Structure 1
Amino acid sequence: MKGGPVSDQYRLVRLDALRGFALFGILAVNAWVFATGYYGSGIADPARDPAVQWIVSMFFETKFYLLFSFLFGYSFTQQMDSAARAGVAFRPRMLRRHLGLAAIGVAHAVLLFHGDILTTYALLGLVLLALRGISPRRAVRLAVGLILVSGALWTLLGVLDVLTRAPADAAAVSAQVAETVAAYRGSPGTVVAERLRQLPATLGFVVFVQAPSALAMFLLGFAAGRRRVLAEPGRYRALWAWLLRVGAPIGLAGAGFYAYVAVNHPGSPVETVAIGVSILTAPLLAGGYVAVLLRLFDTRAAAVFAPAGRVALSNYILQSVVLGVVFTAYGFGLMGTLSYGAVAGLVVGIYAVQLALSALWLRSHRYGPLEWLLRAVTTGARPVAARQL
């Protein structure tokens, strides 16, 4: 069985559909890094559309990477089960997998998108590998502890910022934004150079803001996988009800505060407070999304999103390729030229095409291109790519 096809009986359509839907949220956030040099600059884009920015900040930013992280942790338990069925040692298999994921992530960060999450997942996955013997209950407690400590520290840091930090120099930031846009619109060489220049700052944000929350969601996903929460959702109706009635409203309140600050006070000291509040509340909203989507995916809607989720890695990289062609010197160099409404429309269009292409691809292939490569690295054998028609 080593290196052979994955039997459909071991796939969870709900898991694939959740991952497929999460791709839309990831695209809805990442597109702005390509579209405007002002994203994350600390000052407002003069050409922004506050309504579009509010929607993205409220419902997408800081939420969907958490959902992806939860699903990564859940899939980790499936990898454990797969290794057990194949009768192979799990640890060497996962070390190879994470090495392959890290290699793809590094190439992605340097060539296409400095905000890459794959390398972070590969490294944090080693922590999960070390903790794989943990009980589901302890995994949940550790996850909650990580969220509470990280969120409290950032909120406290934000309060100190409010008391001590001076506002950003708008003229200096605008000059840097102009240089960034010029680099991305210059040549492929200047695109790579600018990605490398921005990597250190991005890594700092990932390590100190995203990584603790991502690891927490890994652990929650791991616990959910051990308890077969997505395989048997009917056993956890109380959990879904709590997430909808209590968790989601708290998450929406935190998201509302975060969005208000992001739209009206970007780069201000209170933005650090908003980050802390988001760390504390965004996991609850992400959980609310799962509760709603599981109801939706009891219908035929699951079949619409599941194919994209089955080739999520390839789709994630493809999003960066398309955005790179549209906005940088790899293609049309349109960074800073499209309206916010046009960018939002582009996001919807790209995602719709990905849904259709994923379904079409899987009619004749068992894996996406990068899924095939990662599986080959993981198993140390050449998987059978084509479906038998």
Structure 2
Amino acid sequence: MTLPASPGAASSAQADLPAGLEAAPESGPPRPVGARERSPLPDVLRGLALLGILIVNVQDFAGFREWTQTGVDRAVQAVTDTLLNGRSISLFAMLFGWGAAGLLARHGAGRLVRRLAVLLALGTAHHLLVWHGDIISNYALLSLALLLTVRMSARSLTGLAGVLGAYWLGLGVLAGVAALGSTRTRFAGLPDLAPGMSYLEVVSRRAATFGEDLWGGSLYNGPWLIALFCLGAAAQRSGLLIRPQEHRPLLRRLAVGGLGLGLPLGLLLAWLNTQGSLAAGLLAIPVRMGGGLASALGYVGVLGLLASRGRLGPLRAFAASGRVALSNYIAQSLVMTGVFYPYAGAQFGRWGAAAAVGLALLVGLAQLPLSAWVLRRFGSGPLETLTRRLVYGRGARREPGPS
């Protein structure tokens, strides 16, 4: 499926806004987009993706292996794999590309590079000081590739994403097929945490492997993540998320085709994650991400159709969380490592999927009213405020809270 090409940047910037609102002036000091200039759909999608990422990541925080779950834990793991695993992270990555492409179009390469440098620093601190599973630093490095796509149309970006994605998924399938018949067991990828470890011991281990984690992860996942960023940039070019009412036929195709492919692949992933073989573990990677992308596009289609008719309803509550996604993402890591890591709550390896996912839901849903309060009180999250000041300078206008 391809996204339609976009009109010129100047007319697009004005058309992106609801009726009666003016675009931010392109002259004068650069500033971030204000709350009244925002379409709700991207923020709702980002908030939902953030909750889904936490539900999936709780396996790593809590230290349980998918294929060892039984009973209600296995049922919860199967639902997670079918509906969220690979889905939420694909949606989040596409939204990252969407935002980066918008900043690039609005303020140019220098401002984008400055923002990515700030995010790289924040992601590095997150990785070293809080949690080894940070994605911010990888995203900041790899999204520099979008600088090479500034003149590409939405259709060309979609085509490039297809080539990169097919290459990465194909290699993953080949690796899984090559492992068929192997007697080796799959790898968990969980952090090496021993009871009684101090905070400094955990940090020192992460610091020792940080370079390998950052560059190795970026090289391995690079083609796939850049493909997702390109899809997000294509959505930015076309105005798909800002003006969904203009793209209802495409949104219907995404909803039907994406979920029609993604849900069966989610069921296949759930089955693969009951198997302990190396081949199952390797095959689960392309199934997870390929099906995850399909389902993520399906979710965009469904929510885009609802947004195009003004029917997001209670889902609008996720927009507040999406607007402070960076602060919420780091806060999730702080809470979860506080519960599970040996220097704090020391529950690592003691919980199954059901209890861990229940905690993730509790934390993620609690962030919705908290995010709304933060926006009313301060206009922005703490890390969003810090990032904005570093990128735009102290003179940048504070983003107003919702009325």
Question: What TM-score does the superposition give when structure 1 sets the normalisation length?
Answer: 0.87
The CA distance in 2 between the partners of 1:117 and 1:350, in whole Å, is 20
Contact 1:99–1:122 (CA under 8 A) maintained in structure 2: yes
Residue 149 of structure 2 corresponds to which residue in structure 1?
Answer: 131
Deviation for aligned residue 1:358:
0.3
Is 1:64 aligned with 2:92?
no
Q: Where do 1:118-197 residues align within 5 Å?
A: 118-163=136-181, 165-168=182-185, 180-182=192-194, 185-196=196-207
2:127 equivalent among 95, 105, 109: 109
Deviation for aligned residue 1:209:
5.2
The CA distance in 2 between the partners of 1:247 and 1:6, in whole Å, is 31
SS at match of 1:77: helix
2:340 equivalent among 327, 330, 339: 327
SS at match of 2:348: coil
The CA distance in 2 between the partners of 1:196 and 1:320, in whole Å, is 17
2:117 equivalent among 54, 76, 99: 99
Residue 37 of structure 2 corresponds to which residue in structure 1?
Answer: 10
The CA distance in 2 between the partners of 1:26 and 1:382, in whole Å, is 34
1:353 equivalent among 352, 356, 366: 366
- Greater shift, 228-237 or 311-320, is seen at 228-237
Deviation for aligned residue 1:280:
3.1
Q: Where do 1:278-293 residues align within 5 Å?
A: 278-293=288-303
Deviation for aligned residue 1:285:
0.9
CA offsets 1:265-304 (integer angstroms, 9 cap, x no match): 1342132123223333321111011112234443332431
Q: How many residues align?
A: 372
Q: 1:386 to 1:244 in 2, by over 3 A?
A: closer
Q: 1:386 to 1:81 in 2, by over 3 A?
A: closer
The CA distance in 1 between the partners of 2:136 and 2:106, in whole Å, is 22
Residue 215 of structure 1 corresponds to which residue in structure 2?
Answer: 226
- Unpaired runs of 5+ in structure 2? 1-27
Deviation for aligned residue 1:222:
0.5
Residue 87 of structure 1 corresponds to which residue in structure 2?
Answer: none
Contact 1:327–1:333 (CA under 8 A) maintained in structure 2: yes
Residue 390 of structure 2 corresponds to which residue in structure 1?
Answer: 377
Q: Where do 1:303-314 residues align within 5 Å?
A: 303-314=316-327
The CA distance in 1 between the partners of 2:228 and 2:295, in whole Å, is 13
Residue 265 of structure 2 corresponds to which residue in structure 1?
Answer: 254
Deviation for aligned residue 1:37:
5.3
Residue 31 of structure 1 corresponds to which residue in structure 2?
Answer: 58
SS at match of 1:141: helix
Contact 1:21–1:305 (CA under 8 A) maintained in structure 2: yes
Residue 86 of structure 1 corresponds to which residue in structure 2?
Answer: none
Deviation for aligned residue 1:45:
5.8
| 1:245 alignment partner AA | V
- Greater shift, 240-249 or 25-34, is seen at 240-249
The CA distance in 2 between the partners of 1:67 and 1:137, in whole Å, is 19
- Unpaired runs of 5+ in structure 1? 84-89
Q: Moved runs in structure 1, 4+ residues, more than 6 A?
A: none
1:269 equivalent among 264, 268, 279: 279
Identity among equivalent pairs (%): 33
- Greater shift, 320-329 or 30-39, is seen at 30-39
Deviation for aligned residue 1:196:
4.1
Deviation for aligned residue 1:5:
6.5
Question: What TM-score does the superposition give when structure 2 sets the normalisation length?
Answer: 0.84
Deviation for aligned residue 1:202:
5.1
Is 1:241 aligned with 2:252?
yes
The CA distance in 1 between the partners of 2:393 and 2:57, in whole Å, is 33
The CA distance in 2 between the partners of 1:204 and 1:23, in whole Å, is 24
Residue 316 of structure 1 corresponds to which residue in structure 2?
Answer: 329
| 1:14 alignment partner AA | L
Contact 2:64–2:352 (CA under 8 A) maintained in structure 1: no
